[in-house]
Amino acid sequence: MNYKIDNLQYCNWSREVFQINREAGLDAVHVTVVYHEDYDEFLKKIKEWNRHFKENSDLIFLGKDYKDIEKAKLEKKTAIFFGFQNCSPIEDNINLIEKVHEHGCRFMQLTYNNQSLLATGCYEKNDSGVTNFGKEAIKEMNRVGIVIDMSHSAEKSTLDAIEISEKPIAITHANPSFWYSAKRNKSNDILKNLASSGGMLGLSLYAHHLKDGSNCTIESFCEMTAKTAEIIGVKNLGIGSDLCLNQPDSVVEWMRNGTWSKSKNYGEGSKNKPGFPKQPEWFIDARGFKNLYDGLKKVGFNETEVNDILGNNWFNFYKEIN
pLDDT, tens digit, for every residue of 48-58?
999 999 999 99
* HSE, side-chain direction, 13 A CA sphere, residue 295: 19
Stretch 150-172: mean pLDDT: 98
CB 117 within 8 A of CB 108: no
Q: How far is CA 163 from CA 8, 58, 169, 170, 288, in A?
A: 24, 42, 10, 13, 35
Q: How far is CA 175 from CA 172, 183, 225, 241, in A?
A: 10, 10, 9, 10
Domains of the chain, CATH where assigned:
5-321 (3.20.20.140)
Residue 13: pLDDT band with limits 50, 70, 90: very high
**pLDDT, greater one: 264 or 80:** 80
Secondary structure of the chain as H, E, C letters: CCCCEEEEECCCCCHHHHHHHHHCCCCEEEEEEECCCCHHHHHHHHHHHHHHHHHCCCCEEECCCHHHHHHHHHHCCEEEEEEECCCHHHCCCCCHHHHHHHCCEEEEECCCCCCCCCCCECCCCCCCCCCHHHHHHHHHHHHHCCEEECCCECHHHHHHHHHHCCCCCEECCCCECCCCCCCCCECHHHHHHHHHCCCEEEECCCHHHCCCHHHCCHHHHHHHHHHHHHHHCHHHEEECCCECCCCCHHHHHHHHHCCCCCCCCCCCCCCCCCCCCCCCCCCCCHHHHHHHHHHHHHCCCCHHHHHHHHHHHHHHHHHHHC
Stretch 230-244: mean pLDDT: 97
Residue 82: pLDDT band with limits 50, 70, 90: very high
CB 147 within 8 A of CB 106: yes
Residue type at position 50: N
What is the rounded distance in angstroms from the CA atom of residue 312 to the CA atom of residue 113? Answer: 29
What is the rounded distance in angstroms from the CA atom of residue 44 to the CA atom of residue 47? Answer: 5
Residue 266: pLDDT band with limits 50, 70, 90: low
pLDDT above 70: residue 253: yes
What is the rounded distance in angstroms from the CA atom of residue 113 to the CA atom of residue 124? Answer: 7
Residue 264: pLDDT band with limits 50, 70, 90: confident
Record the pTM.
0.96
The confidence score (pLDDT) of residue 129 equals: 98
Residue 200: pLDDT band with limits 50, 70, 90: very high
Torsional sign, CA 27, 30, 32, 33 = positive
What is the rounded distance in angstroms from the CA atom of residue 294 to the CA atom of residue 308? Answer: 14
Q: Return all residues near 173 (Cβ < 8 A) that are at least 6 apart.
A: 7, 8, 151, 202, 203, 204, 206, 209, 240, 241, 242
Q: Return all residues near 148 (Cβ < 8 A) that are at least 6 apart.
A: 108, 110, 138, 141, 142, 161, 165, 167, 169, 170
pLDDT above 70: residue 271: no
Residue 322: pLDDT band with limits 50, 70, 90: confident
The confidence score (pLDDT) of residue 274 equals: 66
Residue 321: pLDDT band with limits 50, 70, 90: confident
The confidence score (pLDDT) of residue 269 equals: 67
Stretch 144-162: mean pLDDT: 98
Residue 252: pLDDT band with limits 50, 70, 90: confident
241-278: burial string, b at 16+ Cβ within 10 Å, e else: bbbbbebeeebbbebbbbeeeeeebebbbeeeeeebbe
Stretch 76-102: mean pLDDT: 97
Residue type at position 86: N
